Structure 1
Amino acid sequence: MGAAYFYHMTRTPLEATLPVLLEKSLDAGWRVAVRGVEAARLDWLDQKLWLGPEERFLPHGLAGGPHDGDQPILLTTATEAANRPDCLVSIDGAGISPDEVAAMARVMILFDGNAPDAVETARDQWRTLTEAGAPAKYWSQESGRWEMRAER
């Protein structure tokens, strides 16, 4: 059974936080699906990942291409990911089910701590997942570095 890790971003934006977590996921040998809610936002994120530093290139693709199943990292709005992920990353409030937490090695929920709606959505997700019995950890960067602040 996996666990849901909540990342409350207050000091670094998504485009800085996500690549670090993706690199760690690949280092763990995981295939990753990044689930968003809007295709335009995933297009933007795709561009940010392609323009990252060469020494930290993250092989990835947008869902809908001919090689989705081969992608180590797949950006998608769908609930099913063709790359058979071990890790699922939710951005922008994309839904996660307790069954998905149980099926994955890890689920990561990244949310903007400076956006009240995003914080409220993350709180609802925490409640839903933990009440269903999914293990969860809450990580905050309020102090300037990532620290685990809660665990259930």
Structure 2
Amino acid sequence: MRVDFYQLGAAQPDSVIAAIAAKLVGEQQRLLVVAGDEGLLARLDRQLWDQGAASFLPHGLAGGSDDAAQPILLSTGTDAPNLARNMLIADGEWREAALGYDRAFYLFDEATLEGARLAWKLLAGREGIERNYWSNEDGKWVKKA
């Protein structure tokens, strides 16, 4: 299982999430986006709708009747009724449930940096876990570890 840590820097989380989601949908993969903040999920919902006709990202907010059919599901919980094998943690709060997926994307900023450092250390040396650390530098993602 792979965990990609993304230190946002000046990058806007909504844009980063949309880019990751678009890449996965393009690869015919499903994604569960998790955040404890329903306001963040609502903003993300609007942004994914506003991608324009050429780049619309099919998605839904969890709790609807079509959850299982959604390529991208936005949720406060860690269960994936859409059978996603990818989880994106959007609020900087590590969730151990991410280890039950094939790949996790963990976004964090300055406010959640200490939690990210702790998660990085806790995952070190665990069998079957590949960690990658990416930093946004001048608008480009640079792999640091």
What is the one-letter code of the residue matched to 1:74? L
How much has 1:12 moved relative to structure 2?
A: 1.7
1:143: Cα distance to partner? 4.4
1:130-145 superposed matches below 5 A:
130-133=124-127, 134-145=129-140
Contact 2:34 2:75 in 1 (8 A): yes
CA apart distance, 1:120 = 1.2
Give me the TM-score of the superposition, normalised by structure 2.
0.90
Matches within 5 A, 1:37-76: 37-76=36-75
Mapped to 1, the partners of 2:120 and 2:86 lie a distance apart of 17
Confirm or deny: 8 A CA contact 2:94 2:116 kept in the other structure. no
Q: SS of the residue aligned with 2:124?
A: helix
**Residue 14 of structure 2 corresponds to which residue in structure 1?**
15
Would you say 1:119 and 2:130 are equivalent positions?
no
Counterpart CA distance in 1 for 2:51 and 2:6 is 21
Query: Which digits, 9 at most, give the CA deviation of each residue in 1:13-52, with x for residues without a partner?
Result: 0111111111111122211000101222211211121112
Deviation per CA, 1:74-125, whole angstroms, max 9, x where unpaired? 000112121111110001123332x643x4231100112xx3x311121122
For each residue in 1:52-87, what CA deviation from the matched residue of structure 2 results, as whole angstroms up to 9, or x when unmatched? Answer: 232211000000000101100000011212111111
Give every structure 1 segment of 4 or more consecutive aligned residues whose post-TM-superposition deviation is greater than 6 Å.
none
Cα separation, partners in 2 of 1:143 and 1:30, compared to 1, 3 Å: same
Specify every segment of 5 or more residues in structure 2 that has no aligned partner in the other structure, as ranges.
Answer: none
Q: Please state if 1:129 is matched with 2:123.
A: yes
SS in 2 for 1:141: strand
Once the two structures are superposed, the pairs formed by residues 77-116 of structure 1 within 5 Å of their partners are 77-97=76-96, 100-101=98-99, 103-112=100-109, 115=110
Structure 1: state its 5+ residue gaps: none
How does the TM-score come out when normalised to structure 1? 0.86
